[in-house]
Amino acid sequence: MKVLNFIFGLLSVIGAFYCIFYPGLTFLNSGWIVTILLGMWGICSVIDYFLKRKKSKSEQSEAVMGTLGLIVGIAAAVVSVLAMFIPSIRLVFDITILCIFSGWLIIDGISSVAMSFKVKNSGSSAWIISLICGILVIIGGIYGLFHLVFTAQTIGFMIGVLLAVYGVKLIISVFEKPSV
């Protein structure tokens, strides 16, 4: 399993550089990226479950989530293939993703602002940073609703960053001592 983790980690880091330097293309290929990541995660989770064969709840839930990830990955592959041949599906799919992301930013920003007021009531001075970040995220979400190219590039960049973190995590897991 360590060899697979290292290979997938290295491929993830290499892919992350591509995603960070070409965020627009990354967004346009996000269906394939999601398909590949969900497929790899699902396969590795199921293999890991069968290799360990522990009957604890956490291991079973990981196998179930991995199987669901594999199923969603296959569904994403079907939608991505359909989008190649039917441009209207691609357009609706892309606009839906962009609007959901912008809406998520607005909701997350509102949540951050609300949390900052809870932190303020506890007496901490860190609430100002949370308030400023929340307001900036709300502004970014509203801006993203009206400027979808900005949102697409932001998503592409974020995919690259998340892929890099995931890849580094996999590579580091190779060097960890196994738990008994």
Read off the pLDDT of residues 103-134 as tens digits, 9 standing for 90 and up: 888 998 999 899 888 888 887 778 888 899 99
Amino acid at site 114: A
pLDDT band at 54 (very low <50, low <70, confident <90, very high): low
Q: Please check the confidence at residue 148 and state whether its pLDDT lies above 80.
A: yes
Query: Which pLDDT value is given to residue 122?
Result: 81
129-156 per-residue burial string, b: 16 or more CB within 10 A, e: under 16: ebbeebeebbebbeebbeebeebbbbbb
pLDDT tens across 65-104, in order? 777 777 877 777 777 777 778 888 778 878 887 888 888 8
Please check whether residue 77 is in contact with residue 35, taking contact to mean a CB–CB distance below 8 angstroms. Answer: yes
What was the pLDDT predicted at 135? 94
Residue 139 is predicted with a pLDDT of 93
Q: Are 135 and 113 in contact (CB under 8 A)?
A: yes
Alpha-carbon span 51 to 13, nearest angstrom: 26
Q: Considering the entire predicted model, what is its pTM?
A: 0.61
What is the CA 38 to chain-centroid distance, rounded? Answer: 10
Residue 61 pLDDT grade (very low, low, confident, very high; cuts 50, 70, 90): low
Q: What are the extents of the domains in the chain?
A: 2-175
Mean pLDDT of the chain, nearest integer: 82
pLDDT at site 180? 54
